[in-house]
Structure 1
Amino acid sequence: MLSTIRQLPLSSAVKSHAHDFHQIVITLCGSSTFEIEGLGGRVNAFSGCLVPANHEHYYSGQGYNRQLIFDIPDDAPALTGEHRELIALFDAPRFFALDGALRHYLAFVESELDHGFYGQALEQQPDRVAATLLGALKARLATPLPASRRQLDLAPIDRFITARLAEPLKVADLARLACLSEAHFSARFRTQTGLSPWQYVRQKRLSAARELVAQSRLALADIAVQTGFANQSALSHAFRRRYGCSPRALRNQLSTPAPGAAASGAASSHATLDGWR
């Protein structure tokens, strides 16, 4: 999926939500307030924050304000291929201020938006702009963490996640199990598993949802609730991206014997399910 860039003011009413894509939010004028899983505060002009996907955040605008917002899916060109190392910036919420060079780059971005770069030939321009900005932020925000050869014990983390699939889970909760700071835990976790903590949790949720789809007759809306998705639509969207088909299509596939299959429906279903493991 491609990234998008937009400008808008924030209402003075405090709102909250979470979404399955990452965000860069920069205050262009006025000020705003952002709190991302307990971290944050007032964000003045030419400052901003990185909002990791699936992180509940509260936000509001202060008086007249204008925000520049980048919406970046984890499979967008800005975070994949030659830019794949940039996704580590979203391992935890971050706040930043723009220096002189980045303010000049921001002026360029605003000019591009004013002239419109969303023509068919330039549909990936928002990702190019986002990748350049993220690369500059990476150089400024990078803080080397102390190296450690000790591996994280994933067993208690897996048990904690499995027991709370239906509940909101925070990276801070998992970091506490490992007795590490959130940033240190996220870096160690990615090095060990190749995934950020929220990607790992999402895989656990989807795996559990797939088992329920295949082995129960629960309504898809109930499965979504039991595995921590906001609703059936959110489950179906994530499920299709990971497995290439919707939960309903998988259930139909497993319940319909293939032509020439053995009479035993149970054997057929188990054989088909094994192919998804």
Structure 2
Amino acid sequence: MTSAIRQFPLDTAIHHHAHDFHQIVIGLNGQAEFEIEGLGGSISALSGCIVPANHMHYYAGTGDNHQLVLDLPQDALSLTGHHHELARLFDAPRFFDLDASLARYLEFVLQELRLLASQGALSDLQQDRLAATLLGSLHARLSGDASSTGRPLDLSALDRYIDQHLSGQLRVADLAAQACLSEAHFTARFRAQTGLSPWRYVMRRRLETARRLIHESHLPLSEIAALTGFTNQSALSRAFRRDYGHPPSQLRRPGARRLASNAPMP
């Protein structure tokens, strides 16, 4: 597939799916709710979310809403070649706000799309060029202008908070609030200290807890999925396969104790 920039309202009913291309959704007006592999949040005008490829996401619009959606295959021109560093934007799902400069560029993109569409001249290459500038600007803002120096984060306290809220939505903003930092500063400090994004860290903790419960209890997988913050058993199984290379049910087969003890850290 080729890159595509689209505008449309989201249905107010809850839908879910995963797709093999990356996606960025930016609110133009109204509001929408998203949950991306356990990371929940809302977007409104001039805010958005990043949906990496093959990540299950639930979404619903609220009332009169309108969104700008960028569909980006992993081999898109705006993510390869000298733009290859922009693919780091999709290392993990996240929510973001547009600053004044990005808001002005968004308005330019919308005007350009209208003009090119009216002329019947909107090509894949033109969409890729518009997308590349937007992605580059987002990458510059989200990849680490925030200082990673300062007092180390209290990971033990964060672990306790994560464990207490593991069965529900855990937003990066919630973790940042525990550390009394802005989301941008918290994310930069967290990645510098742990080598992981906050989302990847939470996902690892969900999987570790699920693996322990599968191994040590007789709870059904659907209940373990709910206890560890996965939307359903399928989401748990998909995450297990992605990080451990096997389904969770395999831990309950003969010889599973050795498999569990040898499982790599996600």
Give the alignment's TM-score, normalised by structure 1.
Answer: 0.65
Question: Offset of 1:208 from its aligned partner?
Answer: 1.2
- Which amino acid in 2 is paired with 1:272? L
Note the alpha carbon deviations across 1:20-61, whole angstroms, 9 max, x for none: 897422468xx43347777754x3xxxx43314599876336
The answer to whether the Cα contact below 8 Å between 2:237 and 2:248 also exists between their aligned partners in 1 is: yes
Structure 1 57/172 Cα, relative in aligned 2: closer, same or farther at 3 Å?
Answer: farther
Question: Offset of 1:101 from its aligned partner?
Answer: 5.7
Question: Offset of 1:132 from its aligned partner?
Answer: 5.0
Percent identity reads 39
Residue matched to 1:25: 25
The answer to whether the Cα contact below 8 Å between 1:18 and 1:56 also exists between their aligned partners in 2 is: yes
- Gaps (5+ residues) in structure 1? 258-268
Structure 1 231/217 Cα, relative in aligned 2: closer, same or farther at 3 Å?
Answer: same
Matches of 1:127 and 1:157, distance apart in 2: 40
The answer to whether the Cα contact below 8 Å between 1:32 and 1:62 also exists between their aligned partners in 2 is: yes
CA RMSD for the aligned pairs? Answer: 4.5
Alignment of 1:214-253 (within 5 A): 214-248=215-249, 250-252=250-252
Higher RCO, Cα 8 Å, sep 6+: 2
Residue matched to 1:97: 103
Residue matched to 2:152: 151
**After the TM superposition, which segments of 4 or more aligned residues of structure 1 sit over 6 Å from their partners?**
16-22, 35-39, 54-58, 107-111, 113-117, 126-129, 140-143
SS in 2 for 1:32: strand
Residue matched to 1:168: 169
Note the alpha carbon deviations across 1:258-277, whole angstroms, 9 max, x for none: xxxxxxxxxxx433322115
The answer to whether the Cα contact below 8 Å between 1:175 and 1:182 also exists between their aligned partners in 2 is: yes
Question: Offset of 1:201 from its aligned partner?
Answer: 0.8
Larger Rg: 1
Note the alpha carbon deviations across 1:38-90, whole angstroms, 9 max, x for none: 7754x3xxxx4331459987633638x5x4313579xx564996334434896
Note the alpha carbon deviations across 1:137-168, whole angstroms, 9 max, x for none: 33477883345242212111011112221122
Structure 1 226/25 Cα, relative in aligned 2: closer, same or farther at 3 Å?
Answer: same
Residue matched to 2:262: 275
Structure 1 86/107 Cα, relative in aligned 2: closer, same or farther at 3 Å?
Answer: farther
Task: Give yes or no for the alignment of 1:51 onto 2:45.
Answer: no
Residue matched to 1:181: 182
- Gaps (5+ residues) in structure 2? 35-39
Matches of 1:144 and 1:247, distance apart in 2: 39
Note the alpha carbon deviations across 1:107-144, whole angstroms, 9 max, x for none: 69979x99896xxxx9xxx9997555311333477883
Matches of 1:223 and 1:85, distance apart in 2: 31
